[in-house]
Every structure is written in C-alpha cells, then in structure tokens.
Amino acid sequence: MPHIHLKEYQEATLPCQIGMSRFLFRATNVNHRNEQLIAVEVEGKPFFILRKDEKKCLIKSDKITRPSPTYLIHTALLDYVSLTDAKVLSSNVHTAHKSIHFQETTALKPIEFFVTQFPQNDSMHIEVGFGSGRHLIHQALQHPNTTFIGIEIHRPSIEQVLKQISIQNIDNILLLDYDARLFMELIPSNSIEKIYVHFPVPWDKKPHRRVISKAFIEEAIRVLNVNGKLELRTDSENYYMYSYETFMGLRQLSLEIHKNRSIAVSSKYEDRWRLMEKNIYDLILINTEESPKRNAILHFKFPKKLCNSKRLEALNGTTVTFEEEFIHYERLYRIENDGMLLRLSFGNFKQPEHLYLIFRDDETIYFPQEPIATPTNYKVHQRLIKELHG
C-alpha cells in the first residue's frame, strides 16, 4: 500500500486545494489522538488519508475508502507533503503519473455506475476474481457481442487488465473493484448468462471469507437466466468438496462435474499446477428456474439532527446484532470545528459493508458513498436510524 514516513507531522489549514487534490477536513480519533483521517478529493473521488504517529509519522491511504486506480492515492499523498512542506524520511510513492491507458479507457467503473446504469445486453457474463485477466480478455475477444463484467479487489490486477483493454481496444469489458458477494444482490434477476469463479482463494482457515456459499449460490440462481451457468474451477480438493456439499444442499439442482477438463484458455497458475500434475476440478451449476424481479430499493437518507455527540460516544465500540445482520460502531472521530465521524461495519455477518458516517448539525451522510442498494443494506439502514436516534 502506498505510504510515506515523515520526520514530523505538520497540520495544514483545511479546506484547501493544492495540485490535483482538494483537502476537505480533518478528523481525530476520540480514543487515540495520534490517529487522524484527512478527507481528500482527487478527480472527483473522495477518500481518506490515514495519519498515524508512531516512532515516526506515517501517512497512507485509509483501507476502507481507498480508490482505484492507485495513482489517485499517490497524488493525494504527494500533494499533502507539498502542502505541509514536510520532510520525507522514507517513501514508496515516487510519482503520481496517470498511465496513458487510464486516459484511453473508461472500463473501470465505480459501484454507483452499476446502481444507476446497470448494463443492458441479451448476453452478459461475469467473472469473479479475474486475476491476470487472461480468461476474461480471451472470452471478451471471442464473444464481441457479449458484455463482460470483471470483478477484482487486487489493484495491480485491475491496472494490468485495464492496460490490455486499452492496448487491444476492447470495448465489451467493464471492471469493478468491489466485493462480488455484495455486488450480486445488485444485479437484476434473470439477466446473466454465465458467472465464472475460477481458482478462488480457498480460505481453508477462514471459510467464512469464501466466495462460494449458500447465499452466493442462491443469488447466482436469481441473477442467471434459464439455462444460465455458474462455473467454479479450482485446484483445491478441499474447496471442491466444500462447494460440492454446498451445491448439494439446494432443494433442486442440475450440476455438471469435471476433473482435469481442458478449456480454451488457462491461467499461468493453472499451467504451473498441471506441470505439477495437480488435479483441476470443475463444478458447473445450470439454472433451471426463472426468478421473480426484485423490487426497487428506497433511498438511504437520514432524518435531520439524528443524534448528538453523547449518543455517539455511548455507541462507540459497541455492536448490535439482529436476525442475521449486525451493526458494529468501530471508531469515533471528532471533525475539526464541524461535527463527528463514525466508522461502521454492518450488514450480513459473512459479507459486511464498511463505511463512514459524517454527523453535522443539519445532516447525516455516508462517506465516501451510500451503501449499495440491496435489500440487506436497506434493512440494516433502517435499523441504524433507530439505533442512532436512541
């Protein structure tokens, strides 16, 4: 992750603009005053810089709000150093150059794009965790009339595929940096032809983090059209057996099973595993049912003057659970001269959202954006209003 160590921390008067960065406000952790969040906006994307004072001052991108591509983070960090005229002790941020490939392609989309303008095409495929992008790009070139949505949270992989999209002038791929399990709830019913989950991380020690789960499969069935397919491909026998048992837990099922099946394109890891004579397993679910359309979700707004600082201080560090959902009030910050900031995790236990809430006298808003409009998030939002109101 991009970071810079400074000899000492210098505060700047905010808000202000320098270079490409607009610094908005500063918020200090009420329990750990050596931790601050600095809100910044670069090219219209808001996020936080995290500052910590340890043996030497560290500034880096906040994990929850960090944007793609990473040059936005580099830009903000370097601009903040310039703003404060700080002395740099060490850094892995040397330039904030925007690759020409980001200027030539608009394939990388924010989650808000899919909320308001979900693509419409008779043929649509999704690849979850596309890695190097070899399979995704091959499929897109072979099927130019199909729209492909590639989902990945590894930033270097995203940038590598964006480069190839630009070089090869591919116009039927959209990329998203987001949790695929949450994204599934956003997809219209019966709209997808194929979902590829190729070589997901097995997470043997943390099975709750696996992509394949009962909830994910049920959402896949909802979004797939009739005869649409969910294709899992893995080299992990443990993951294969776990997934098989999860699939077989369904009331109704049409399933293909393959071992060491050859496909048109393989990843570099698969090539290596085949040389090691490692087995490759395929589980392919064929959807046989049409799902009902999902009702539109209402807005994620808050009433004015929702709560006061005493209520927030009482909630700080607590967790509330209800049915299959939870709200964890992780950390509370005081915004300099202008309200409070609360870091939240909430939603389903297996696939939570992580966001911030800004509290000012006349408004309460999510930062850097509202949760995606899913039934689970809307349900938790309504509970959150009750909790904050006290």
Question: What average pLDDT does this structure show over 189-194?
Answer: 96
List Cβ neighbours of 122 (8 Å cut-off, separation of 6 or more): none
pLDDT for position 269: 73
Residue 61 is given by DSSP the state E
CATH class held by domain 100-286: alpha beta
pLDDT higher than 90, residue 191: yes
The 10s digit of each residue's pLDDT in 361-381 is 889 999 998 888 888 888 899
**329: part of which helix (H) or strand (E)?**
strand 325-335
Residue 208 is given by DSSP the state G
% of the chain with per-residue pLDDT over 90: 61
* Residue 268 vs residue 260, higher pLDDT: 260
CA–CA separation, 155 and 63 (whole Å): 12
List Cβ neighbours of 132 (8 Å cut-off, separation of 6 or more): 157, 160, 161, 267, 268
Confidence at 70, pLDDT banded by 50, 70, 90: confident
pLDDT for position 297: 65
Look up tokens 């190097």; give the residue: 132
What angle (nearest 5°) sits at the alpha carbon of residue 66, between those of residues 51 and 187?
155
Confidence at 57, pLDDT banded by 50, 70, 90: confident
The DSSP string of 88-132 is EEEES----PPPHHHHH---EE-HHHHHHS----SSEEEEES-TT
Question: What average pLDDT does this structure show over 88-100?
Answer: 75
String of b and e for 94-108 (b: at least 16 CB within 10 Å)? eebeeeebbeebebb
What are the extents of the domains in the chain?
Answer: 3-91, 100-286, 309-389
On the CB side of 225, CA atoms within 13 Å amount to 10
